[in-house]
Amino acid sequence: MDSDGFATHSRDVNGFTLREAMRCGVIETDWFRMKAMGEVEELLKTPRVHFLYLHHVFPDEIDNFRATLAHVQRTHEMVTYSRAVELVLSGQVTRPTACVSFDDGLSTILPASRVMDELGIKGCFFVCPAIVGERDREQVRRFAETRLHYPPMDVLGWAEIEEMASRGHEIGSHTYSHPNMGEVSLEQAIDELQYSRDELRLRLGGVKHFAWPSGRWDNFSARAGKAVFDLGYESCASAIRGCHMPRPFAVDRRDVCLRREHIMGCWPLRHNLYFMARSVRRVGPKDYQWPPKWQRIVKQESTVPGEDGGVPGEAMALA
Ligand SMILES: [Zn+2]
């Protein structure tokens, strides 16, 4: 931590707790069993699209981050986020394919984006315009406590984001101010989607992709999902683990709720590969879809976002 209590090293965020030690034990046991059976290599050879995502890469994580991406690049075709979305929609996936995205717009992703440039990998960086360029550290601290729910870290400014975009990286919307989209009213949810879209259009000339904060089903709603597409976003991403398998038919963008695989710069390579392999082992043919009760609502096309009214939470109950 620095003198203001801002996280500067991996250990500031990933403290060694009993829970973490137990989690590691489970992963290690399953990993070595899968390795012994030769499963890992076979699973990772499976043609599919795998969306990897991270939040931060501290200076003490950057070498491991580089090694992880270099390893994935040797075994997967690395594509842009937009290309990965196209492949998922078309279903025509013929080889192991991966892309990289980052959430929250933290300043440590700037050097991470340069490592990606060295490797020839272009990512998508999901940002919240409300906090971009905030230099008042009390404001950043409050945002981290109330919205991000992890220790405070410095955030990127617009000039840095524009510079990353000029190097070929994509910038996506992560809402305007990172609320729990499963708890706000539909009107607030639409405002979050719209303000973010409008500011990114103004600053960068456009925005295609959206990833919802925290990314679990209870952090979102069917009606907010419908609004994402009504407002012109081309894709909507969760943080639910998984990957996207080939399909003999194409689907509409409203049919797809992207799954993303959380990896960490501080995790050993085998832990990151373990989660990827586990997702391939578990994936089902319909794991690109919304929950069954949400599908009809997300797919209702509309020119007026949210015209059917109601509160997002109403549509939340899953079968
Ligand atoms: Zn986030």
Give, in degrees to the nearest 5, the angle at Cα 121 between 120 and 126. 145
57 CA distance to ligand 1 middle (Å): 15
249 CA distance to ligand 1 middle (Å): 32
193 CA distance to ligand 1 middle (Å): 14
Q: Give the model's pLDDT for residue 11.
A: 87
**Whole-number Å distance between alpha carbons of 316 and 141:** 31
149 CA distance to ligand 1 middle (Å): 9
Mean pLDDT of the chain: 93
Coarse DSSP helix, strand, coil percentages of the chain, rounded to the nearest 5 percent: 45, 10, 40
213 CA distance to ligand 1 middle (Å): 4
Q: How many CB atoms lie within 10 A of CB 205?
A: 9
What does the pLDDT average to over 146-165? 96
**Whole-number Å distance between alpha carbons of 55 and 264:** 8
269 CA distance to ligand 1 middle (Å): 23
Nearest to 315 by CA among 192, 215, 210, 226: 226
**Whole-number Å distance between alpha carbons of 114 and 33:** 36
**259 vs 20, higher pLDDT:** 259
Amino acid at 233: Y
Contact indicator for 122, 168 with CB cutoff of 8 Å: yes
Number of separate domains in the chain: 1
Q: Is residue 6 included in any domain, yes or no?
A: no
Q: Give the model's pLDDT for residue 303.
A: 54
Q: Give the model's pLDDT for residue 304.
A: 55
With a pLDDT cut of 70, the percent of the chain lying above it is 94
Q: Is residue 309 included in any domain, yes or no?
A: no
Q: Sort 121 into a burial class: Cβ within 10 Å, 0-12 / 13-18 / 19+.
A: buried
Q: Is residue 3 included in any domain, yes or no?
A: no
What does the pLDDT average to over 180-193? 97
237 CA distance to ligand 1 middle (Å): 11
What is the domain extent for residue 58?
Answer: 14-300
130 CA distance to ligand 1 middle (Å): 13
Q: Give the model's pLDDT for residue 306.
A: 46
Backbone torsions φ then ψ of 269, nearest 5 degrees? -50, -40
Q: Give the model's pLDDT for residue 21.
A: 86
**14 vs 78, higher pLDDT:** 78
Q: How far apart are the first and last CA of the chain?
A: 44
Q: Is residue 317 included in any domain, yes or no?
A: no
Nearest to 171 by CA among 184, 185, 156, 186: 156
pLDDT over 70 (residue 145): yes
pLDDT 10s digits, 64-113: 999 999 999 999 999 999 999 999 999 999 999 999 999 999 999 999 99
The H or E element spanning position 52 is strand 48-54
219 CA distance to ligand 1 middle (Å): 11
**Whole-number Å distance between alpha carbons of 197 and 234:** 12
Q: Give the model's pLDDT for residue 20.
A: 82
178 CA distance to ligand 1 middle (Å): 6
Q: Is residue 310 included in any domain, yes or no?
A: no
The region of weakest confidence among 24-33, 101-110, 217-226, 240-249 is 24-33
36 CA distance to ligand 1 middle (Å): 36
pLDDT over 80 (residue 319): no
What does the pLDDT average to over 130-154? 96
Q: Is residue 308 included in any domain, yes or no?
A: no
257 CA distance to ligand 1 middle (Å): 17
What does the pLDDT average to over 186-209? 98
Q: What is the DSSP letter of 290?
A: P
38's torsion region: left (phi>0), alpha (psi -120 to 50) or beta? left
With a pLDDT cut of 90, the percent of the chain lying above it is 87
| CATH code of 269's domain | 3.20.20.370
pLDDT 10s digits, 31-61: 999 989 999 999 999 999 999 999 999 999 9
Helix (H, G, I), strand (E, B) or coil at 251: coil
Q: Is residue 49 included in any domain, yes or no?
A: yes
211 CA distance to ligand 1 middle (Å): 8
Q: Give the model's pLDDT for residue 18.
A: 84
The H or E element spanning position 138 is helix 137-143
pLDDT 10s digits, 265-308: 999 999 999 999 999 999 999 999 999 999 999 998 765 554 44
315 CA distance to ligand 1 middle (Å): 22
**Whole-number Å distance between alpha carbons of 81 and 122:** 8
137 CA distance to ligand 1 middle (Å): 18
32 CA distance to ligand 1 middle (Å): 32
90 CA distance to ligand 1 middle (Å): 28
170 CA distance to ligand 1 middle (Å): 16
Q: Is residue 8 included in any domain, yes or no?
A: no
94 CA distance to ligand 1 middle (Å): 31
Place of tokens 């003999």: 248
Question: Which pLDDT band holds residue 15 (cuts at 50, 70, 90)?
Answer: confident
